[in-house]
Structure 1
Amino acid sequence: MTELATECWGNSGPRVVMVHGSLSSAAAAFAEQRVLADRFQIIAPYRRGYSPSPATDRIDPDRDAAEIAELLGDGAHLVGTSMGGVVAMRAAALAPEKVWSLTVIEPPAMPNGAGRPEADRLAAALEGYWLKSDASDLESFAAGFLETLNVNLQLPTPLPAPLAEAIRNLTTERPWQTGVPVDELARTSFPKLVVTGGGTPGFEDVADALAEVLRAKRVLFEGSPHAVQRIGQRFNDELVAHLNAANVSTN
Protein backbone atom coordinates (compact mmCIF):
# COMPACT_ATOMS: atom_id res chain seq x y z
CA MET A 1 0.00 0.00 0.00
CA THR A 2 1.48 3.32 -1.04
CA GLU A 3 2.45 5.87 1.60
CA LEU A 4 2.03 8.76 -0.81
CA ALA A 5 -0.58 11.45 -0.22
CA THR A 6 -2.72 12.14 -3.27
CA GLU A 7 -5.14 14.61 -4.75
CA CYS A 8 -8.24 12.82 -6.06
CA TRP A 9 -10.47 14.64 -8.53
CA GLY A 10 -13.52 12.98 -10.04
CA ASN A 11 -15.27 9.72 -9.20
CA SER A 12 -16.20 8.25 -12.56
CA GLY A 13 -14.56 7.39 -15.85
CA PRO A 14 -11.08 6.02 -16.56
CA ARG A 15 -8.33 6.55 -13.99
CA VAL A 16 -5.55 9.01 -14.86
CA VAL A 17 -2.43 9.15 -12.67
CA MET A 18 -0.60 12.50 -12.98
CA VAL A 19 2.99 12.83 -11.72
CA HIS A 20 4.40 16.26 -10.86
CA GLY A 21 7.94 17.53 -11.45
CA SER A 22 10.71 18.91 -9.27
CA LEU A 23 9.69 22.48 -8.50
CA SER A 24 5.98 21.88 -8.04
CA SER A 25 3.49 19.62 -6.30
CA ALA A 26 0.40 17.66 -7.24
CA ALA A 27 -2.21 20.38 -6.71
CA ALA A 28 -0.11 23.15 -8.26
CA ALA A 29 1.24 21.21 -11.23
CA PHE A 30 -2.14 19.97 -12.45
CA ALA A 31 -4.50 22.74 -11.38
CA GLU A 32 -5.53 23.27 -15.01
CA GLN A 33 -6.48 19.61 -15.38
CA ARG A 34 -9.01 19.55 -12.52
CA VAL A 35 -11.71 20.51 -15.04
CA LEU A 36 -11.31 17.03 -16.54
CA ALA A 37 -12.70 15.46 -13.36
CA ASP A 38 -16.16 15.44 -14.95
CA ARG A 39 -15.07 12.54 -17.17
CA PHE A 40 -11.95 11.03 -15.58
CA GLN A 41 -10.85 9.91 -12.13
CA ILE A 42 -7.65 11.90 -11.63
CA ILE A 43 -5.11 10.72 -9.06
CA ALA A 44 -2.28 13.23 -8.53
CA PRO A 45 0.23 11.97 -5.95
CA TYR A 46 2.71 14.06 -4.01
CA ARG A 47 6.01 12.36 -4.73
CA ARG A 48 8.06 11.25 -1.75
CA GLY A 49 9.79 14.28 -0.28
CA TYR A 50 6.89 16.61 -1.09
CA SER A 51 4.54 17.33 1.80
CA PRO A 52 2.17 15.86 2.85
CA SER A 53 3.87 12.69 1.55
CA PRO A 54 6.71 11.26 3.67
CA ALA A 55 10.03 13.11 3.68
CA THR A 56 13.22 11.80 2.09
CA ASP A 57 16.91 12.67 2.21
CA ARG A 58 17.34 12.13 -1.52
CA ILE A 59 15.08 11.92 -4.54
CA ASP A 60 15.24 8.45 -6.08
CA PRO A 61 13.45 8.19 -9.47
CA ASP A 62 13.35 4.39 -9.28
CA ARG A 63 11.72 4.41 -5.85
CA ASP A 64 9.30 7.06 -7.12
CA ALA A 65 8.50 4.89 -10.13
CA ALA A 66 7.70 1.88 -7.96
CA GLU A 67 5.38 3.99 -5.82
CA ILE A 68 3.63 5.45 -8.85
CA ALA A 69 3.19 1.97 -10.34
CA GLU A 70 1.26 1.01 -7.19
CA LEU A 71 -1.28 3.76 -7.95
CA LEU A 72 -2.14 2.32 -11.37
CA GLY A 73 -4.52 -0.18 -9.76
CA ASP A 74 -6.04 -2.48 -12.34
CA GLY A 75 -5.11 0.00 -15.06
CA ALA A 76 -4.75 3.73 -15.68
CA HIS A 77 -3.57 6.41 -18.04
CA LEU A 78 -0.22 7.84 -16.94
CA VAL A 79 0.84 11.50 -17.29
CA GLY A 80 4.12 13.00 -16.08
CA THR A 81 5.59 16.48 -16.30
CA SER A 82 9.31 17.32 -16.13
CA MET A 83 11.02 14.91 -13.71
CA GLY A 84 7.58 13.42 -13.21
CA GLY A 85 7.79 12.39 -16.86
CA VAL A 86 10.97 10.42 -16.18
CA VAL A 87 9.27 8.81 -13.17
CA ALA A 88 6.16 8.03 -15.24
CA MET A 89 8.18 6.34 -17.98
CA ARG A 90 10.08 4.25 -15.45
CA ALA A 91 6.78 3.33 -13.78
CA ALA A 92 5.31 2.35 -17.15
CA ALA A 93 8.25 0.03 -17.76
CA LEU A 94 7.67 -1.61 -14.36
CA ALA A 95 3.99 -2.36 -14.99
CA PRO A 96 3.26 -2.02 -18.73
CA GLU A 97 0.21 -4.27 -18.49
CA LYS A 98 -1.47 -1.66 -16.26
CA VAL A 99 -0.77 1.36 -18.49
CA TRP A 100 -3.52 2.42 -20.91
CA SER A 101 -1.62 5.38 -22.34
CA LEU A 102 1.48 7.43 -21.53
CA THR A 103 1.90 11.22 -21.79
CA VAL A 104 5.15 12.96 -20.90
CA ILE A 105 5.79 16.72 -20.81
CA GLU A 106 9.40 17.87 -21.30
CA PRO A 107 10.98 14.98 -19.37
CA PRO A 108 14.67 15.61 -18.58
CA ALA A 109 15.71 12.15 -19.77
CA MET A 110 19.04 13.57 -20.86
CA PRO A 111 20.89 10.28 -21.58
CA ASN A 112 18.18 9.38 -24.10
CA GLY A 113 19.04 12.49 -26.11
CA ALA A 114 22.77 11.74 -26.15
CA GLY A 115 24.37 12.54 -29.49
CA ARG A 116 21.96 15.37 -30.27
CA PRO A 117 23.77 18.71 -29.98
CA GLU A 118 21.34 20.66 -27.78
CA ALA A 119 20.71 17.69 -25.49
CA ASP A 120 24.44 17.17 -25.05
CA ARG A 121 24.95 20.86 -24.31
CA LEU A 122 22.18 20.90 -21.71
CA ALA A 123 23.36 17.70 -20.02
CA ALA A 124 26.88 19.13 -19.71
CA ALA A 125 25.53 22.47 -18.46
CA LEU A 126 23.40 20.78 -15.79
CA GLU A 127 26.25 18.62 -14.55
CA GLY A 128 28.55 21.62 -14.48
CA TYR A 129 26.01 23.69 -12.62
CA TRP A 130 25.56 21.06 -9.89
CA LEU A 131 29.33 20.85 -9.47
CA LYS A 132 29.87 24.59 -9.02
CA SER A 133 26.70 25.68 -7.22
CA ASP A 134 26.02 26.03 -3.50
CA ALA A 135 23.16 23.66 -2.71
CA SER A 136 22.65 25.27 0.69
CA ASP A 137 21.61 28.59 -0.88
CA LEU A 138 18.22 27.47 -2.13
CA GLU A 139 17.15 30.73 -3.78
CA SER A 140 20.38 31.08 -5.75
CA PHE A 141 20.43 27.38 -6.65
CA ALA A 142 16.91 27.50 -8.09
CA ALA A 143 17.55 30.75 -9.96
CA GLY A 144 20.69 29.35 -11.57
CA PHE A 145 18.96 26.10 -12.43
CA LEU A 146 16.13 27.92 -14.19
CA GLU A 147 18.64 30.07 -16.06
CA THR A 148 20.43 26.92 -17.24
CA LEU A 149 17.11 25.68 -18.64
CA ASN A 150 16.39 29.07 -20.25
CA VAL A 151 13.24 29.31 -18.11
CA ASN A 152 12.23 32.86 -17.22
CA LEU A 153 10.51 32.52 -13.85
CA GLN A 154 10.77 34.93 -10.94
CA LEU A 155 10.83 33.10 -7.62
CA PRO A 156 9.16 34.66 -4.56
CA THR A 157 11.36 36.01 -1.76
CA PRO A 158 11.42 34.68 0.86
CA LEU A 159 10.69 31.22 -0.47
CA PRO A 160 7.39 29.70 0.71
CA ALA A 161 7.97 26.50 2.68
CA PRO A 162 6.66 24.14 -0.05
CA LEU A 163 8.93 25.73 -2.66
CA ALA A 164 11.94 25.60 -0.35
CA GLU A 165 11.20 21.91 0.20
CA ALA A 166 10.97 21.34 -3.55
CA ILE A 167 14.27 23.12 -4.24
CA ARG A 168 15.98 21.12 -1.49
CA ASN A 169 14.74 17.97 -3.21
CA LEU A 170 16.00 19.27 -6.55
CA THR A 171 19.53 19.68 -5.20
CA THR A 172 19.64 15.90 -4.63
CA GLU A 173 18.65 15.04 -8.21
CA ARG A 174 21.07 14.28 -11.03
CA PRO A 175 19.09 15.16 -14.17
CA TRP A 176 21.98 14.53 -16.56
CA GLN A 177 21.88 10.87 -15.47
CA THR A 178 18.12 10.23 -15.43
CA GLY A 179 17.57 8.15 -18.51
CA VAL A 180 14.50 6.01 -19.17
CA PRO A 181 14.20 2.41 -20.49
CA VAL A 182 13.09 3.25 -24.02
CA ASP A 183 13.77 -0.22 -25.43
CA GLU A 184 11.35 -1.77 -22.94
CA LEU A 185 8.77 0.95 -23.55
CA ALA A 186 9.12 0.63 -27.33
CA ARG A 187 7.90 -2.96 -27.07
CA THR A 188 4.62 -1.87 -25.47
CA SER A 189 1.45 -1.25 -27.44
CA PHE A 190 -0.22 1.55 -25.45
CA PRO A 191 -0.33 4.98 -27.14
CA LYS A 192 2.35 7.50 -26.24
CA LEU A 193 2.40 11.30 -26.41
CA VAL A 194 5.46 13.54 -25.99
CA VAL A 195 4.78 17.25 -25.42
CA THR A 196 7.08 20.27 -25.26
CA GLY A 197 6.77 24.06 -25.13
CA GLY A 198 9.77 25.11 -27.21
CA GLY A 199 11.63 27.06 -24.53
CA THR A 200 14.57 24.73 -23.81
CA PRO A 201 16.35 23.40 -26.93
CA GLY A 202 17.89 20.49 -25.00
CA PHE A 203 14.47 19.28 -23.95
CA GLU A 204 13.30 19.52 -27.57
CA ASP A 205 16.15 17.22 -28.61
CA VAL A 206 15.31 14.75 -25.84
CA ALA A 207 11.62 14.78 -26.78
CA ASP A 208 12.43 14.21 -30.45
CA ALA A 209 14.66 11.27 -29.56
CA LEU A 210 12.03 9.73 -27.28
CA ALA A 211 9.23 10.16 -29.80
CA GLU A 212 11.33 8.55 -32.52
CA VAL A 213 12.22 5.43 -30.52
CA LEU A 214 8.79 5.09 -28.88
CA ARG A 215 6.85 5.84 -32.08
CA ALA A 216 5.00 8.43 -30.02
CA LYS A 217 2.89 11.33 -31.15
CA ARG A 218 5.01 14.46 -30.84
CA VAL A 219 3.31 17.80 -30.06
CA LEU A 220 4.96 21.21 -29.68
CA PHE A 221 2.98 24.04 -28.09
CA GLU A 222 5.36 26.80 -29.17
CA GLY A 223 5.83 29.58 -26.63
CA SER A 224 4.45 27.56 -23.71
CA PRO A 225 6.10 27.26 -20.29
CA HIS A 226 8.22 24.26 -19.31
CA ALA A 227 5.13 22.89 -17.51
CA VAL A 228 3.10 22.90 -20.71
CA GLN A 229 -0.01 21.50 -19.01
CA ARG A 230 -0.47 24.91 -17.36
CA ILE A 231 -1.66 26.45 -20.64
CA GLY A 232 -4.99 24.77 -19.93
CA GLN A 233 -7.54 24.06 -22.63
CA ARG A 234 -5.24 23.64 -25.63
CA PHE A 235 -3.20 21.08 -23.75
CA ASN A 236 -6.29 19.47 -22.23
CA ASP A 237 -7.90 19.04 -25.66
CA GLU A 238 -4.79 17.26 -26.93
CA LEU A 239 -4.59 15.13 -23.80
CA VAL A 240 -8.25 14.09 -23.86
CA ALA A 241 -7.97 13.13 -27.54
CA HIS A 242 -4.94 11.01 -26.68
CA LEU A 243 -6.67 9.33 -23.72
CA ASN A 244 -9.79 8.64 -25.73
CA ALA A 245 -7.75 7.14 -28.57
CA ALA A 246 -6.62 4.42 -26.18
CA ASN A 247 -10.22 3.13 -26.36
CA VAL A 248 -10.24 1.78 -22.80
CA SER A 249 -13.35 0.20 -21.35
CA THR A 250 -13.77 0.49 -17.58
CA ASN A 251 -16.95 -1.61 -17.46
Structure 2
Amino acid sequence: MAQQRVVFVHGAGRFGAAAWPRQHVLAGRYDCLFLRRHGYRPDLPPAPTDHRADAAAVLAALGDGGHVVAHAEGAIAAMMAAVQSPERVWSLSLCEPAVFSLTRDLPATAAHRAHLDALFRDARQLDDDEYAREYRRLVYSAEAASASAADPQAAARQRLQSPPWDAPLEIVPGIPTLVLTGEWEPLYEEAARFLASTGADHRAVGGNHRPQDIEAGQEAITGFLARCAAASVAC
Protein backbone atom coordinates (compact mmCIF):
# COMPACT_ATOMS: atom_id res chain seq x y z
CA MET A 1 0.00 0.00 0.00
CA ALA A 2 1.32 3.45 -0.93
CA GLN A 3 2.21 5.81 1.89
CA GLN A 4 -0.31 8.54 2.60
CA ARG A 5 0.88 12.06 1.88
CA VAL A 6 1.48 14.67 4.59
CA VAL A 7 2.10 18.27 3.53
CA PHE A 8 3.86 20.57 6.02
CA VAL A 9 3.26 24.34 5.78
CA HIS A 10 5.59 26.67 7.70
CA GLY A 11 4.88 29.97 9.42
CA ALA A 12 6.73 33.27 9.11
CA GLY A 13 10.10 32.23 10.51
CA ARG A 14 11.92 29.10 9.42
CA PHE A 15 10.67 27.61 6.17
CA GLY A 16 10.71 24.37 4.22
CA ALA A 17 12.08 21.29 5.96
CA ALA A 18 14.03 23.47 8.42
CA ALA A 19 10.73 24.53 10.02
CA TRP A 20 9.92 20.95 11.06
CA PRO A 21 12.99 19.37 12.71
CA ARG A 22 11.04 16.98 14.95
CA GLN A 23 8.74 15.85 12.13
CA HIS A 24 11.39 14.56 9.71
CA VAL A 25 11.08 11.15 11.34
CA LEU A 26 7.53 10.88 9.98
CA ALA A 27 8.99 10.44 6.49
CA GLY A 28 9.53 6.80 7.36
CA ARG A 29 5.78 6.33 7.72
CA TYR A 30 4.28 8.90 5.33
CA ASP A 31 5.06 10.57 2.03
CA CYS A 32 6.12 13.91 3.53
CA LEU A 33 6.42 17.14 1.57
CA PHE A 34 7.80 20.27 3.26
CA LEU A 35 6.49 23.32 1.41
CA ARG A 36 8.02 26.75 0.95
CA ARG A 37 5.28 29.35 0.93
CA HIS A 38 5.06 32.12 -1.65
CA GLY A 39 8.00 34.53 -1.25
CA TYR A 40 10.14 32.08 0.74
CA ARG A 41 12.28 30.57 -2.01
CA PRO A 42 15.91 31.30 -1.08
CA ASP A 43 16.90 31.61 -4.76
CA LEU A 44 14.37 34.40 -5.43
CA PRO A 45 13.80 37.82 -3.84
CA PRO A 46 11.22 37.96 -1.03
CA ALA A 47 7.67 38.65 -2.20
CA PRO A 48 4.49 39.92 -0.52
CA THR A 49 2.05 37.52 1.11
CA ASP A 50 -0.17 35.65 -1.35
CA HIS A 51 -2.58 33.45 0.60
CA ARG A 52 -4.29 32.15 -2.54
CA ALA A 53 -0.97 31.11 -4.07
CA ASP A 54 -0.10 29.34 -0.82
CA ALA A 55 -3.43 27.49 -0.76
CA ALA A 56 -2.95 26.48 -4.40
CA ALA A 57 0.51 25.15 -3.54
CA VAL A 58 -0.95 23.07 -0.69
CA LEU A 59 -3.55 21.54 -3.00
CA ALA A 60 -0.96 20.87 -5.70
CA ALA A 61 1.26 19.12 -3.15
CA LEU A 62 -1.66 17.02 -1.86
CA GLY A 63 -2.45 15.63 -5.29
CA ASP A 64 -5.39 13.27 -4.89
CA GLY A 65 -5.46 13.80 -1.13
CA GLY A 66 -3.62 13.66 2.16
CA HIS A 67 -3.04 15.34 5.51
CA VAL A 68 -1.84 18.89 6.22
CA VAL A 69 0.29 20.00 9.18
CA ALA A 70 0.70 23.77 9.47
CA HIS A 71 2.24 26.33 11.79
CA ALA A 72 1.21 29.93 12.57
CA GLU A 73 0.51 31.82 9.31
CA GLY A 74 0.79 28.53 7.43
CA ALA A 75 -2.54 27.54 8.96
CA ILE A 76 -4.22 30.16 6.77
CA ALA A 77 -3.17 28.38 3.57
CA ALA A 78 -4.05 25.00 5.09
CA MET A 79 -7.58 26.09 6.00
CA MET A 80 -8.13 27.85 2.67
CA ALA A 81 -7.11 24.67 0.85
CA ALA A 82 -9.52 22.65 2.99
CA VAL A 83 -12.41 25.00 2.19
CA GLN A 84 -11.62 24.90 -1.53
CA SER A 85 -11.21 21.13 -1.79
CA PRO A 86 -12.39 19.37 1.40
CA GLU A 87 -12.35 15.93 -0.23
CA ARG A 88 -8.57 16.20 -0.70
CA VAL A 89 -7.71 17.43 2.82
CA TRP A 90 -8.13 14.38 5.05
CA SER A 91 -7.00 16.06 8.26
CA LEU A 92 -5.56 19.32 9.59
CA SER A 93 -2.96 19.64 12.36
CA LEU A 94 -2.59 23.33 13.20
CA CYS A 95 0.21 24.47 15.53
CA GLU A 96 -0.39 27.92 17.06
CA PRO A 97 -2.60 28.88 14.08
CA ALA A 98 -2.59 32.58 13.22
CA VAL A 99 -6.17 32.49 11.96
CA PHE A 100 -6.95 35.92 13.33
CA SER A 101 -9.40 36.96 10.62
CA LEU A 102 -11.77 34.47 12.26
CA THR A 103 -11.26 36.04 15.70
CA ARG A 104 -10.54 39.66 14.74
CA ASP A 105 -13.26 41.07 17.01
CA LEU A 106 -12.51 38.89 20.04
CA PRO A 107 -10.62 40.60 22.89
CA ALA A 108 -7.07 39.26 22.52
CA THR A 109 -7.07 39.52 18.73
CA ALA A 110 -8.58 43.01 18.76
CA ALA A 111 -5.89 44.16 21.19
CA HIS A 112 -3.18 42.57 19.03
CA ARG A 113 -4.54 44.29 15.94
CA ALA A 114 -4.57 47.66 17.70
CA HIS A 115 -1.01 47.09 18.91
CA LEU A 116 0.40 46.31 15.45
CA ASP A 117 -1.86 48.25 13.11
CA ALA A 118 0.43 51.28 12.84
CA LEU A 119 3.46 49.09 12.07
CA PHE A 120 1.70 47.31 9.20
CA ARG A 121 0.30 50.63 7.96
CA ASP A 122 3.75 52.29 7.97
CA ALA A 123 5.68 49.32 6.54
CA ARG A 124 6.31 51.04 3.19
CA GLN A 125 7.87 54.04 4.94
CA LEU A 126 10.41 51.90 6.81
CA ASP A 127 13.40 50.05 5.47
CA ASP A 128 13.79 46.34 6.18
CA ASP A 129 16.00 46.68 9.25
CA GLU A 130 13.87 49.45 10.76
CA TYR A 131 10.77 47.34 10.33
CA ALA A 132 12.43 44.25 11.83
CA ARG A 133 13.62 46.20 14.88
CA GLU A 134 10.18 47.70 15.46
CA TYR A 135 8.50 44.31 15.03
CA ARG A 136 10.81 42.73 17.59
CA ARG A 137 10.15 45.63 19.97
CA LEU A 138 6.38 45.26 19.69
CA VAL A 139 6.16 41.46 19.48
CA TYR A 140 9.22 39.60 20.66
CA SER A 141 9.53 36.36 18.72
CA ALA A 142 12.32 33.89 19.40
CA GLU A 143 11.51 32.20 16.10
CA ALA A 144 11.87 35.48 14.19
CA ALA A 145 15.17 36.17 15.95
CA SER A 146 16.59 32.74 15.06
CA ALA A 147 15.33 33.03 11.48
CA SER A 148 16.97 36.44 11.07
CA ALA A 149 20.28 35.01 12.19
CA ALA A 150 20.14 32.22 9.61
CA ASP A 151 18.42 34.01 6.71
CA PRO A 152 19.92 37.21 5.27
CA GLN A 153 16.59 38.05 3.59
CA ALA A 154 14.49 37.54 6.73
CA ALA A 155 14.04 41.28 7.44
CA ALA A 156 12.93 42.03 3.88
CA ARG A 157 10.59 39.06 3.89
CA GLN A 158 9.05 40.03 7.22
CA ARG A 159 8.30 43.59 6.06
CA LEU A 160 6.35 42.25 3.05
CA GLN A 161 3.98 40.10 5.10
CA SER A 162 0.36 41.25 5.27
CA PRO A 163 -1.64 41.32 8.52
CA PRO A 164 -2.95 37.79 9.18
CA TRP A 165 -6.28 39.23 10.35
CA ASP A 166 -6.95 40.34 6.76
CA ALA A 167 -6.72 36.80 5.33
CA PRO A 168 -9.81 35.56 3.41
CA LEU A 169 -10.64 32.71 5.79
CA GLU A 170 -13.79 30.67 6.29
CA ILE A 171 -14.74 27.89 8.70
CA VAL A 172 -13.56 24.48 7.53
CA PRO A 173 -16.52 22.09 7.19
CA GLY A 174 -16.27 18.66 8.82
CA ILE A 175 -12.55 17.90 8.51
CA PRO A 176 -10.79 16.27 11.50
CA THR A 177 -8.70 19.05 13.01
CA LEU A 178 -6.10 19.11 15.78
CA VAL A 179 -5.02 22.45 17.23
CA LEU A 180 -1.87 22.67 19.36
CA THR A 181 -0.98 25.70 21.45
CA GLY A 182 2.05 26.56 23.54
CA GLU A 183 0.38 27.96 26.69
CA TRP A 184 2.26 31.26 26.47
CA GLU A 185 0.09 33.81 24.64
CA PRO A 186 -3.65 34.53 25.04
CA LEU A 187 -3.88 35.48 21.35
CA TYR A 188 -3.26 31.92 20.19
CA GLU A 189 -5.32 30.34 22.95
CA GLU A 190 -8.23 32.54 21.85
CA ALA A 191 -7.88 31.38 18.25
CA ALA A 192 -7.68 27.76 19.41
CA ARG A 193 -10.80 28.09 21.55
CA PHE A 194 -12.65 29.51 18.56
CA LEU A 195 -11.58 26.58 16.38
CA ALA A 196 -12.57 24.17 19.15
CA SER A 197 -16.05 25.73 19.12
CA THR A 198 -16.30 24.66 15.46
CA GLY A 199 -15.32 21.05 16.22
CA ALA A 200 -11.51 21.01 16.44
CA ASP A 201 -9.61 19.09 19.12
CA HIS A 202 -7.58 21.69 21.05
CA ARG A 203 -4.60 20.59 23.12
CA ALA A 204 -2.45 23.04 25.06
CA VAL A 205 0.87 21.18 25.26
CA GLY A 206 3.45 23.89 26.02
CA GLY A 207 6.47 24.75 23.91
CA ASN A 208 5.63 28.44 23.50
CA HIS A 209 5.19 29.40 19.82
CA ARG A 210 6.53 26.08 18.51
CA PRO A 211 4.64 23.30 20.30
CA GLN A 212 5.58 20.92 17.48
CA ASP A 213 9.21 21.06 18.66
CA ILE A 214 8.59 19.44 22.04
CA GLU A 215 7.87 15.79 22.77
CA ALA A 216 4.26 16.35 23.79
CA GLY A 217 3.53 18.23 20.58
CA GLN A 218 5.21 15.64 18.39
CA GLU A 219 3.32 12.85 20.15
CA ALA A 220 0.02 14.67 19.63
CA ILE A 221 0.69 15.15 15.91
CA THR A 222 1.90 11.57 15.45
CA GLY A 223 -1.10 10.06 17.24
CA PHE A 224 -3.60 12.27 15.43
CA LEU A 225 -2.11 11.47 12.01
CA ALA A 226 -2.16 7.75 12.78
CA ARG A 227 -5.85 7.86 13.73
CA CYS A 228 -6.79 9.93 10.69
CA ALA A 229 -4.72 7.77 8.35
CA ALA A 230 -6.44 4.63 9.66
CA ALA A 231 -9.86 6.26 9.27
CA SER A 232 -9.15 7.30 5.68
CA VAL A 233 -8.12 3.73 4.79
CA ALA A 234 -11.29 2.36 6.43
CA CYS A 235 -13.38 4.71 4.28
What residue is the counterpart of 2:202 in the other structure?
Answer: 218
Cα shift readout 1:72-129 (whole Å, capped 9, x = no counterpart): 1111101110111111111111111111101111122212113321111012222222
Shift of 1:227: 2.1
Q: Alpha carbons of 1:158 and 1:207: their partners in 2 closer, same or farther (altered >3 Å)?
A: closer
Q: Give the alignment's TM-score, normalised by structure 2.
A: 0.86
Is 1:144 aligned to 2:134, yes or no? Answer: yes
Give the match for residue 17 of structure 2: 27
Contact 1:193 1:217 in 2 (8 A): yes
Can you give the 5+ residue segments of structure 1 that lack an aligned partner in the other structure?
1-10
Q: What is aligned with 2:218?
A: 236
SS in 1 for 2:49: coil
Q: Tell me the number of residue pairs that the alignment of Structure 1 and Structure 2 aligns.
A: 231
| TM-score, scaled relative to structure 1 | 0.81
Pairwise CA RMSD: 2.7
Q: Out of 89, 95, 100, which is 1:99 matched to?
A: 89
2:50 paired with 1:68? no
Q: What amino acid maps onto 2:167 in structure 1? A: T
> For residues 72 and 92 of structure 1, what CA distance do their matches in structure 2 show?
11
> What is the DSSP-based 3-state SS (H/G/I as helix, E as strand, rest coil) of the residue aligned with 2:169?
coil
| Residue identity opposite 1:205 in structure 2 | E
Indicate which of 187, 190, 193 corresponds to 1:202: 187
Q: Which secondary structure state, in structure 2, belongs to the residue aligned with residue 96 of structure 1?
A: coil
Q: 2:161 aligns with which of 169, 173, 180?
A: 173
SS of residue in 2 equivalent to 1:77: strand
Q: Distance in 2 between matches of 1:244 and 1:28?
A: 23
Distance 1:112 1:172 in 2: 22
State how far apart, in whole Å, the 2-side matches of 1:238 and 1:229 are. 9
> Cα distance 1:229–1:167, how it changes in 2: closer, same or farther (>3 A)?
farther
